[in-house]
Chain A
């Protein structure tokens, strides 16, 4: 078993400021760099002192990976890169790269709104931080350096969220970030191939919960909004700039269309255009339905949702307003709340978490008399609703992912200790991850006998320790293919065919004309006797024996006519 060291610098057994340090095969990778919005002092950031005492950050860390744009996963990034001094690469998906600065700006505003906020990053720092970002595509194997490679998988949860596989030699870790195993209104379900990592680090927010269908929650939400609007009330939905707001917008837009409702829906701070822009830009990241209907109708071009002007809040009659910030502690959402709070016909729907001390937290805990500035008391008569729309995998989903990836070990993070204990038992029970003495297990390794010591180590380590060169054993096979075209064209046809068939694998067409699928190499050569036939030379390592056999059998069936 290779040594993989995992140090949670935050969100080990709680939620907020996710930050996990993984040391694997001599490489150090930081997974997420989040902040805790419940604190105003140093406690809001992960404890980086563990890393800083290992010398210069940039020398110690090989890379930082950000799973998605939520602040509890990326909020400390500008602080870490521009103030603590990390100068290396930061990997994230393209949508996360685009949306991250917006969320960071949103949070910077919150910080500026508070007094005595020192040590907080500036706009320039956010930009400089984003310049260190290397954006990755899904399923693209990115070579961080000669030994370290990473690969992103779709995670659902929010636009651009990804799970990452980190691989050094034969050792690998998969980090899920936050993920969702069931599709929602705008995103698909998380998916990973059978990559069999040594370790799977998975979130466990809902470790003990089997969540009710999201459809039920959506129905509830629409029913409540509809009722409030029907009785002439105004509905306030405090949200953060991007993310859940778009999902709720789609929900309301569709409902308004279906029910032919006339009450206006507004989205504050002019973010609709920006959101639309990103959702259009990254349409491939949304779910199948949205992608399919995109050409006829873009789901993010809303007919009923209009930009909000401050003067609209005083308009008579019902309306629905999405306003920032999401915790009702300052800004426009609080201003509208103060205006509407006194009327029992109105309603506020909190679709997310609020930290202690904020107005959002207070009203959610049932407080009805709030002390505002200058000892003024605000009486809350409006209806207050909490609706969770967070998209995390539940216990069933987590088990499903473990089943998909088939890891050797599972590490639960981003959840509560007690709940984790329960899920741990379930996973052990179902997948028997713990070594069972009675169960025979197949091990590949090398036994080193030295100074009357016996050690079983991986082949790579043994070679390294003994200073031996590695001899690659490759299986080879020839496949004859009837194809009168030139060799290069045959190779291109093979590439197109395999690319369409092997969606889960990395199929590449190299400049020298050969085609690779993982370690499998395919070269097309002319037949010495028959010019109408080409010979495909296929070779593969013993690790990919299964795939190699499958490929040769596939190629023996010939190429489809349309493959060019």
Chain B
């Protein structure tokens, strides 16, 4: 420990032990514990106690807990736990009989202080830190703490209850560590007493009729199987799995959500998944027993497992697909194909898919057999297995249930789509349990992935939502009524549709996708959030659109779509909702960036009102929109697309006015976002040698820097320096550049050449800005300036070596100015600088030291333990109302 901190510690301990002294900020004690934990982790806790006896004295007031505030009491319990985590320190505290009196019956436990959840939480966390060695286990066994932890599992405070469960797992893990290493096959009956007790408690809870108790047991087991992968966990699962299986026989299945979590954590455990221990049976049974909304997360979890029998994967996939199957059945135009048992069954769906044929469907029973062609939908997706409940029944009881299930399903499938494509999900296994497992190096999505039916389902759902779908059954009619105008489902379906752009399939489906997207983008009923999603999905589909073989950037369908879309865009750019205007502009910027060079697109864009409207939006009342308009105009200009046919006499008139307009925004806009956007556009223009910039780069840079350096927004100033850096790099060459055209001073360049190279920077007042920014009150600006000047110094190093120390009048005045700025004075601009003076000052400045200081930031003072101790001591006793006065 730092000697300065060590000196302050006794005084602080005295403050903490004094119940009359309130403790300052409620974060202070947390930070103090963080500090003690760091010290304990780095060295000996016993030594810490011996060197700072005040800490032991501090722990003693706990013996009179009624005197202490719950916060301090909880702090002391946690501190004791941190210190006693090391066995020698534990023994030391035990000798003083301190631990039993802290954590046993004699302590806060059972007293008035115990009613505060903070104290109960501190007690648990203290024990959790302490339980690191066999002596701690003996202590727990003798103190009766384990029974208290059992009761705390049902605590009224959610966080206490959760921590109690975690502590039980921790204790069980530690108590099993020693015996399990040598004898993984030991039966629980031979396990250490402490472990037996916990397992017995879990068994009892699993047998309980009250759901909360079952939930507690399942949660403890989930935490354990997730974190502990020792061989004994396999023994434990074998021991407990019958009890877990019994839960599935109850109606309804209790604590279904926790049960799913447990089964998945067991399935993910590397110890257990290699030998299924009946797990796959249980998972299959659970899938068929749970309601669709409960089974969905389990199905997703199973499909993301690295190792799993094919048949189980097929069953899981079928569960996930059920709701979409139902949707397609309800709207398909050809229900009741031969071989199906009625309208809206599997074949009606399969007929839409790219792979399956009605014959294949007709010939299939519920279970797949090896060697058969894969189906678009896996078997059993609808009515295929006896276990699977009828999906229509699940979708229809209420609008809320229908919407909830569809959103969940779409989200789950969205997570599967990006996974690598895997082996057939339903090609083997024959449906018999146990089935051979499919070892996979990483989670794979089911194969064949029914891309086309999924796409069809997503489109159908979107149609149901906007009222353009035609229901062909009662279910369809109900769905129409439920989904009409439902924003939640629209959002989920558009997200899913966007993800599906990664696949390939029949062109007519892609055409349908573009058609529905256009409908949404056109419709006056689309809500702003739905429109945003529609724009995103559109962009994804356009980007994934295959390039035509004959060249060009877009295939004809996408081209046509984009042309149809452009007349829609002006309406969105004129929307009364700022977010719609903004989303429209963001979409425009992206499309122009991607396809701005494509003739068809250019032609359509220039023929539309879009460029003109975008220009008008530079004056939008909403600053976010102005910023997006700046970005869009910047992009349009870069692509030569913002020119509205001007008079032949003034071909460049529009271009010029945009630069002026952006400069005007930079100088006058009252909000930061548009000004930042202008700086980004200007930096990009400089990088790309935009025609307006290239015409007189120096003049452009000078004007921009003059405005940016005065800006009140730190990001604008930082971006001003970024632009300055680009200018430097373009003039002097990249740090490691070998560009033959860059004007790089050679290794031993004559002074005149270097001075000449630096002249442009002097003329644009770059150094005035950079040197001043070095002491900017906003750290990122100062850091940026530091980097810029270091770059410059590296470039001019050879020159300054030759020059030796410079001490002209210019240098003196510059150094004086720097000192004033460092002291916080602003003063007048530097005026004209000589390159020689700049180089000399660059050399004399301790830029590395400054960079180091800036990297430390104010955290150096704010987060230091010394500062914490000083603050806590200073605050003691002067507390007033300001403690609670957070705003």
Contacts and interface: CB of A to CB of B under 8 A. Distances in A.
Contacts of A361: 25, 871, 875
Contact of B882 (A70, A335, A358, A388): A388
Contacts of A132: 529
Given A313-B824, A355-B27, A274 B579 contact: no
B874 A355 contact: no
Contact of A388 (B624, B671, B885): B885
Contact of B26 (A14, A313, A331, A358): A14
A115 B855 contact: yes
A149 B233 CA distance: 48
B826 A273 contact: no
Contacts of A311: 826-827
B66 to A, nearest CB: 13
B780 A47 contact: no
A416 interface: yes
A211 B862 CA distance: 32
A366 B855 contact: no
A113 B778 contact: yes
Given A36-B27, A358-B862, A415-B884, A365 B257 contact: no
Given A123-B673, A361-B871, A113 B780 contact: yes
Nearest to B772: A310
Contacts of B868: 356-357
A362 B882 CA distance: 13
A71 B824 CA distance: 30
A149 B863 CA distance: 45
Interface stretch (A290-298, A369-377, A498-506): A369-377
Nearest to A312: B826
Contact of A40 (B70, B411, B672, B863): B863
A485 interface: no
B27 A373 contact: no
B861 A38 contact: no
Contacts of B672: 105
A270 B872 CA distance: 36
Contacts of A178: 887
B313 interface: no
B825 A314 contact: yes
Given A209-B881, A330-B858, A72 B24 contact: no
B408 interface: yes
A384 B511 CA distance: 70
B297 interface: yes
B399 interface: yes
Interface residues of B, number: 76
B885 A352 contact: yes
B859 A88 contact: no
A451 to B, nearest CB: 15
B812 interface: no
B43 interface: no
Given A335-B824, A357-B861, A146 B882 contact: no
A88 B527 CA distance: 13
Nearest to A15: B886
Nearest to B486: A145
A422 interface: no
A232 interface: no
B400 A147 contact: yes
A549 interface: no
Given A331-B777, A366-B878, A113 B858 contact: yes
B491 interface: yes
Interface in B478-492: 487-488, 491-492
A131 B583 contact: yes
Nearest to A205: B884
Contacts of B297: 55
A39 interface: yes
Contact of B884 (A112, A123, A146, A206): A206
A220 interface: no
Contact of B159 (A47, A55, A358, A373): A47
A54 interface: yes
Given A56-B411, A373-B861, A38 B26 contact: yes
Contacts of B404: 59
A367 B870 contact: yes
A273 B672 CA distance: 12
B851 to A, nearest CB: 12
Nearest to B849: A374
Contacts of B880: 386
B400 A417 contact: no
A364 interface: yes
A88 B404 CA distance: 13
B158 A355 contact: no
A330 B673 contact: no
A16 B411 CA distance: 33
B714 A109 contact: yes
Contact of B878 (A15, A362, A365): A365
A481 to B, nearest CB: 38
Given A72-B887, A367-B870, A373-B861, A356 B671 contact: no
Interface in A373-431: 373-374, 386, 388, 390, 415-417
Given A113-B858, A269-B712, A357-B868, A365 B885 contact: no
B768 interface: no
A329 interface: yes
Contacts of B491: 87
Contacts of B887: 70-72, 178, 240, 243-244, 352-353, 390
Contacts of A120: none
B881 A356 contact: no
A254 interface: no
B417 to A, nearest CB: 15
13 contacts: A43-B27, A43-B30, A115-B856, A130-B624, A131-B532, A330-B778, A332-B777, A334-B777, A356-B872, A357-B862, A374-B853, A390-B887, A417-B116
Interface of B: 24-28, 30-31, 70, 116-118, 158-159, 257, 261, 297, 399-400, 404, 407-408, 411, 487-488, 491-492, 495, 528-529, 532, 579, 582-583, 624, 670-673, 676, 712-714, 777-780, 823-827, 853, 855-863, 867-868, 870-872, 874-875, 878, 880-882, 884-887
Interface of A: 7, 13-16, 26, 36-40, 43, 47, 50, 53-56, 58-59, 70-72, 87-89, 101, 105, 109, 112-116, 123, 127, 130-132, 145-147, 178, 205-206, 209, 240, 243-244, 268-270, 273-274, 277, 310-311, 313-314, 329-332, 334-335, 338-339, 352-353, 355-358, 361-362, 364-367, 370-374, 386, 388, 390, 415-417
Given A40-B859, A131-B582, A357-B861, 10 more contacts: A7-B158, A53-B261, A59-B408, A205-B884, A329-B858, A353-B885, A356-B31, A361-B875, A362-B870, A417-B118
